[in-house]
Structure 1
Amino acid sequence: MNIVENNNSGKCILEVSHLSVAYGKVDALINFNMRVNEGQIVSVVGPNGAGKTTLLSAIMGVLSSQGNVDFDGEVQQSPQVEYMVGKGLGLVPEKRELFSSMSIEDNLLLGAFQRYRRGDRKYKETLDEVYDIFPRLKERRTQASGTLSGGERQMLAVGRALMAKPKLLMLDEPSLGLAPLITREIFKIIDHLRATGVSILLVEQNARAALKMADYAYVLEMGELSMQGTGASLSEDPRIIESYLGINSKHQEILSI
């Protein structure tokens, strides 16, 4: 493991220590350590099958795991999904997981279900904030979500996660399957969310875009941490350029902001 530097400056919102996940006898994530500080975009890059989605699922509690997940000052071992959502952790999964037959607005309101159950009626203000970020969703709020384009579905998935007022938003491959123009728009929105105070953990195959916008980044290979450092330092590292930025350089340059 090549440690470039540590992400220790700033107030920690998420720290993962010795996190491991196995599918039967197959190790998908091995003794992984990482940290996200408040107000940061932290990216995790790596090839297909490296364990990136497994990492997010374990942090969220979708998968059982070994090791510690310290979120907002509370350490959990193999956390529970409902507890993590209640604590302020949001996840936008790779497949979006929308309710296709329901309207855009109903999908958004579902994102605030726990707040509603707690008696928090300010979720209506959050709905207005989401519509400000995604005016296209407001224009089509009565439309069934299944009729949306890929980019609009991604916007809706992000908007639904924001309805829970997350302290940390985890995004799994937000550019997957999107056209270059829409991809650039999504990344600009992610950058805007950081400016509003949302901390972001971004898992992304488009290494060029992910490193360009990241305050800090981790490289995951075969379930293990292989490199870490600031987004800027990793994007200039010859090993990263050869492995992730060289072959598809022109294509990734088009997709990056």
Structure 2
Amino acid sequence: MMSLLQVSDVHVAYGKVEAVFGVNLVAEQGCITTIIGPNGAGKTTLLSSLAGLHPLSAGQVVLDGADISSLATEARLERGLVLVPEKRELFPDMSVEDNLNLGAYHRRWTGGRTLRGDLDQIFSLFPRLKERRKQTAETLSGGERQMLALGRALMSKPRLLLLDEPSLGLAPLITRQIFEIISDLCRSGVSIILVEQNARAALAIAKYGYVIEQGRVVLQGLAIELAADPKVAGTYLGKN
């Protein structure tokens, strides 16, 4: 497999307080790479910096051979790097359909007729969104809002999808559905970096994983091997 994203010696700071220390990470084309670790470990900060929402204090981010370290968020989006943030950040007073269309905003001059076909594909993937297409986002359940956040990201035609805590606040049944959808997206050709507190579920669908603690990568390896690692199992997986 070829690497799609290469993160080299990345440091991220908030003022004088450093939150991410020398992280090296590779995301392969067509695979799910997961990042697990405790709350406050720097996982969300790392994703935000990859998406261009927070500047690097040092290091390099390379997407498909091109250095994007200094590019703005919009430029990274145009190159296919798309973040679905932890808080989903939907437009609550806008309809489901309008929220989805906003995901393709940067394609408005080039998308043409394909945008309608893309919207139909999203509704095929998320039938519940089609049923609620005219409802405002604020009327949706937590699971439906996560589906809408994923759908909006997919409307931008991502090459690499950054998912920050997609199961946060969701019931177990809905969580399983969301992870099934994430697996399906990967099989359809979308590469994914998944930050997730539900380490067991994340490692079950990922190919490769990283464990971050206090802003540093402390373990990495094939997801199946991390899941069997006694330290990972004892700290992050809990009981079956």
Cα distance in 1 between the residues matched to 2:135 and 2:111 = 28
Cα distance in 1 between the residues matched to 2:213 and 2:7 = 17
Cα distance in 2 between the residues matched to 1:243 and 1:84 = 35
**Matched residue, 1:35:** 26
Q: Which runs of 4+ in 1 moved over 6 A?
A: none
Report the TM-score when normalising by structure 2.
0.97
For structure 2, the residue ranges without an aligned partner over 5 or more in a row are none
**Matched residue, 2:45:** 54
**Matched residue, 1:255:** none
Higher mean alpha-carbon deviation, 180-189 vs 18-27, is at 18-27
- Of residues 131, 152, 155 in structure 1, which corresponds to 2:123? 131
- 3-state SS in 2 of match to 1:228: strand
For structure 1, the residue ranges without an aligned partner over 5 or more in a row are 1-9, 251-257
Q: After superposition, what is the alpha-carbon deviation per residue over 1:32-63, rounded to whole angstroms, capped at 9, x for unaligned?
A: 00011111000000000000000110000000
Shift of 1:242: 1.2
Paired residue type of 2:33: V
**Matched residue, 1:155:** 147
Please say if 1:15 is aligned against 2:9.
no
The correspondence of residues 141-180 of structure 1 with structure 2, limited to 5 A, is 141-180=133-172
**Matched residue, 1:25:** 16
Higher mean alpha-carbon deviation, 72-81 vs 87-96, is at 72-81
Kept in 2, the 8 Å contact 1:88–1:168? The answer is: yes
Cα distance in 2 between the residues matched to 1:89 and 1:168 = 5
Q: After superposition, what is the alpha-carbon deviation per residue over 1:176-216, rounded to whole angstroms, capped at 9, x for unaligned?
A: 00000000000000001011110010000111011111100
Shift of 1:121: 3.5
| CA gap 1:121/1:67 in 2 versus in 1, 3 angstroms | farther
Indicate the percent of aligned positions where both proteins have the same amino acid. Answer: 56
- RMSD, aligned CA: 1.0
Paired residue type of 1:144: T
**Matched residue, 1:239:** 231
Report the TM-score when normalising by structure 1.
0.91
The correspondence of residues 206-221 of structure 1 with structure 2, limited to 5 A, is 206-221=198-213
Higher mean alpha-carbon deviation, 71-80 vs 38-47, is at 71-80
